[in-house]
Amino acid sequence: MLSMSDGNPGELPELTFALPTIPASAGALIRGRKGRLLILKPTYKGGWTIPGGVVEIGESPWDACRRETREECGLDVTTGRLACVDFRRPRPDRPGGMRFLFDCGVFDDEVLNTVVIQPVEIAESRILPIDAALPLLSGPVRRRVRAAWKAKRVRYLEDGRPVPGIGP
């Protein structure tokens, strides 16, 4: 939108516009030995998910991943790599946005046995073989985890699906 000034000679027009707001969230692949994945059962929605949540204002996706993992299951994540970025289109029932998925590495059983869930948000945790974990995850999370599980490079998805012309 362009709005004009009060008409003083030599004055430039004033530009007025609104920047789009795009919600973002970040999740963590927390792997156990022998191809296992840490999954969580939220109290506020059906199905299972991975540690993660909304990126707060001024927070980076990596910081959100680390904070949410600490809050939801008590694990301190110190290393990781961006494994997947998923663009979710807005729909009438959800705002859409960007979903970042970080592969936080393989944890020994001694560490995974220290998981302490946050009971307000998380009802239960499990560490399951990937083939048993995937069917329990909601569709978009399942597609992101599947795309990132064995990938050596960052995957780009739209609504959880590969995009033709964008390499793996």
Domain range for 87: 29-162
168 within some domain: no
Q: How far is CA 129 from the centre of its chain?
A: 21
pLDDT tens per residue, range 10-20: 677 787 878 77
State the DSSP H helix or E strand holding residue 65, giving kind and residue range, or none if neither. helix 61-73
* pLDDT category of residue 156 using cuts at 50, 70 and 90: very high
Q: Quote the pLDDT of residue 158.
A: 95
81 within some domain: yes
Q: What whole-number distance in Å separates Cα of residue 120 and Cα of residue 113?
A: 20
35 within some domain: yes
153 within some domain: yes
| Beta-carbon count within 10 A of 105 CB | 14
11 within some domain: no
Q: Which residues pair with 84 in a beta bridge?
A: 101, 155
6 within some domain: no
pLDDT tens per residue, range 123-134: 999 999 999 999
Assess whether pLDDT exceeds 80 at residue 3. no
CB 49 within 8 A of CB 39: yes
pLDDT tens per residue, range 34-46: 999 999 999 998 8
* pTM recorded for the entire structure: 0.87
70 within some domain: yes
- For residue 76, what is the domain's CATH number? 3.90.79.10
| Tally of domains in the chain | 1
pLDDT tens per residue, range 47-89: 999 999 999 999 999 999 999 999 999 999 999 999 999 999 9
15 within some domain: no
Q: Quote the pLDDT of residue 20.
A: 77
With a CB cutoff of 8 Å and minimum separation 6, the contacts of 30 are 37, 38, 50, 51, 69, 73, 75, 77, 104, 107, 112
Q: Quote the pLDDT of residue 167.
A: 78
